[in-house]
């Protein structure tokens, strides 16, 4: 069954949205296969967001994602990657449809509540940054 990595970013944790977000995935029928809270180091953030290195927003993104604890979740289910992306809404909350997580809870692109892997290959790489094999429970 497909797995994807979700991060409830520090702004989502601060706003008390972890339960709401996890509940939406569970009610949709997706399973939680791994879950932890951590504060990312700059080194970990640079690894996770390596594809954005050199972009104008990169330093701000690293500052933001390391600013406080986040919740990392392995979400599992049929087509988990595209289903989670659809539930999150567009990266820029200006374009996120109401009913999506960003469309309901976020206003700006640099503070957009949630991250989800954009492909199965990214999911595999990103899950490996946050979780060991023994921390994932196939459901």
Which residues are annotated as part of the binding site?
9, 57, 85, 91, 102, 112
Per DSSP (E only), the strands in the chain are 3-8, 31-38, 70-76, 114-116
Instruction: Scan residues 55-74 and list those touching ligand CMP (CB under 6 A).
Output: 57, 61
Q: Report residue 123 as tokens.
A: 């999911």
Smallest CA-to-CA distance from 65 within 118, 129, 22 is with: 129
Site string for ligand CMP, 5-44 (x = CB under 6 A): ----------------------------------------
- Point out the annotated binding site for ATP: 9, 57, 85, 91, 102, 112
Q: How far is the CB of 138 from ligand CMP (least distance, A)?
A: 25
CA angle 21, 26, 32 (to 5 degrees): 90
- Give how far the C-alpha of residue 55 lies from the chain's centroid of Cα atoms, to the nearest Å: 20
- Give how far the C-alpha of residue 37 lies from the chain's centroid of Cα atoms, to the nearest Å: 12
The stretch among 16-24, 31-39, 74-82, 104-112 that binds ligand CMP (CB under 6 A) is 104-112
User: Where in the sequence numbering do the catalytic residues fall?
Assistant: 115
Query: Binding residues for ligand CMP, per CB under 6 A?
Result: 52, 57, 61, 91, 109-110, 112, 115
């Amino acid at each position: 069954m497909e797995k994807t990595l979700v991060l409830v970013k520090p702004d989502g944790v601060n706003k008390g949205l972890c339960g709401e977000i996890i509940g939406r995935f569970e009610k949709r029928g997706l399973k939680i296969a791994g879950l932890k809270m951590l504060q990312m180091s700059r080194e970990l953030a640079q690894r996770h967001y390596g594809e954005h290195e050199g972009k104008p927003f990169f330093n701000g993104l690293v500052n933001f994602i390391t600013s406080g604890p986040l919740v990392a979740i392995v979400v599992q289910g049929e087509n988990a990657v595209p289903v989670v992306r659809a539930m999150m809404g567009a990266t820029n909350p200006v374009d996120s449809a109401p009913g999506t997580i960003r469309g309901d809870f976020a206003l700006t692109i640099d503070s957009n509540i949630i991250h989800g892997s954009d492909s199965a290959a990214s999911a595999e790489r990103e899950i490996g940054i946050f979780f060991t094999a023994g921390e994932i429970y196939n459901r």
